């Protein structure tokens, strides 16, 4: 299923028996690959965003009108997961990041992303400039995610979009081949 993150914000998180455990507030995206590693969430009974927890994308059983996870025990502090430390320390992000072309044209701010719930890879960026939505940008056009902006190619034709993208190359290197 292809879904925009803005429609996931506030999505309920339930366990396999249907018990409400929390709500989604933000994705954790690996800037090098464009892969969503998991989601920050607010557990039920927490009345403050300071009590933010994390669920890994690997622990999601079903993604639909709710997110179903195995059990409550998979909700944790992100700092407790050793393999996430480099991603948590990385200051690069997709959401709320400026978007610029190679020639320096300012496209806007990345206000939303669309991702595939099967692979958890970002497919489209949705920029906003002065409260107005811009044209969707394919992840194929992303050349680099820097600390202060996302660099995209000047190319906009679909035929040219199939050209090499650093984000897609890195993501492909993390996907095991199937025979």
CA distance 63 to 152: 30
Q: With respect to residue 141, please indicate whether it lies within any of the assigned structural domains.
A: yes
Q: Are residues 133 and 164 in the same domain?
A: yes
- Cα–Cα dist 151/132, whole Å: 20
- In this predicted structure, what is the pLDDT of residue 159? 40
For tokens 């400026």, the residue is: 98
Count of domains forming the chain: 2
* Residue 178 counted as domain residue: no
What's the confidence (pLDDT) of residue 3? 86
End of a domain among 89, 115, 133? 89
The residue among 58, 89, 120 that closes a domain is: 89
Is 179 inside a domain boundary?
no
Q: Is 80 in the same domain as 103?
A: no
Judgement on whether residues 53 and 106 belong to the same structural domain of the protein: no
pLDDT of residue 78: 84
Tell me how far apart the alpha carbons of residues 174 and 177 are, in angstroms, rounded to a whole number: 9
Alpha carbon distance 141, 134 (integer Å): 15
Sequential pLDDT tens for the chain (179 residues): 888 898 889 899 999 899 999 999 999 999 888 999 999 999 887 665 668 899 999 999 999 899 999 889 999 888 888 888 888 888 888 889 999 999 989 999 999 999 999 999 999 999 999 889 989 999 999 999 998 999 999 876 444 445 556 566 666 666 554 44
Tell me the CATH number at 115: 2.30.30.240
For residues 103 and 84, state if they share a domain: no
Inter-residue contact 142 to 152 (CB < 8 Å)? yes
Cα gap 151→102, rounded to integer Å = 6
- Asked if residue 102 and residue 31 are part of one domain, the reply reads no
Task: List the domain range (segments joined by +) for residue 130.
Answer: 98-173
The residues pairing with 2 across neighbouring beta strands, listed in sequence order, are 116
My answer on whether 58 and 102 are in the same domain is no
Q: Are residues 80 and 36 in the same domain?
A: yes
Asked whether residue 115 falls in the same domain as residue 148, the answer is: yes
State residue 108's pLDDT score: 92
CA dist 102 → 13, 67, 106, 151, 152 (Å):
40, 38, 10, 6, 6
């Amino acid at each position: 299923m292809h879904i925009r993150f803005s429609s996931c914000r506030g999505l309920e998180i339930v366990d396999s028996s249907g018990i409400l455990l929390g709500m989604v507030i933000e994705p954790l995206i690996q800037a090098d690959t464009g892969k969503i590693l998991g989601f920050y969430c607010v557990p039920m009974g927490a009345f403050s965003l300071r009590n933010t927890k994390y669920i890994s994308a690997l622990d999601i059983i079903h993604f639909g009108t709710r997110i179903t996870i195995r059990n409550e025990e998979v909700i944790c502090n992100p700092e407790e997961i050793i393999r996430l430390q480099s991603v948590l320390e990385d200051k690069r992000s997709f959401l709320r990041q400026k978007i610029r072309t190679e020639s320096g044209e300012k496209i806007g701010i990345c206000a939303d992303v669309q991702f595939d719930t099967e692979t958890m890879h970002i497919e489209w960026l949705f920029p906003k400039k002065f409260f107005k939505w811009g044209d969707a940008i394919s992840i194929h056009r992303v050349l680099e995610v820097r600390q202060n902006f996302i660099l995209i190619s000047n190319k906009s034709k679909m035929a040219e979009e199939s050209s090499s993208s650093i984000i897609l190359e890195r993501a492909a290197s993390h996907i095991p081949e199937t025979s």
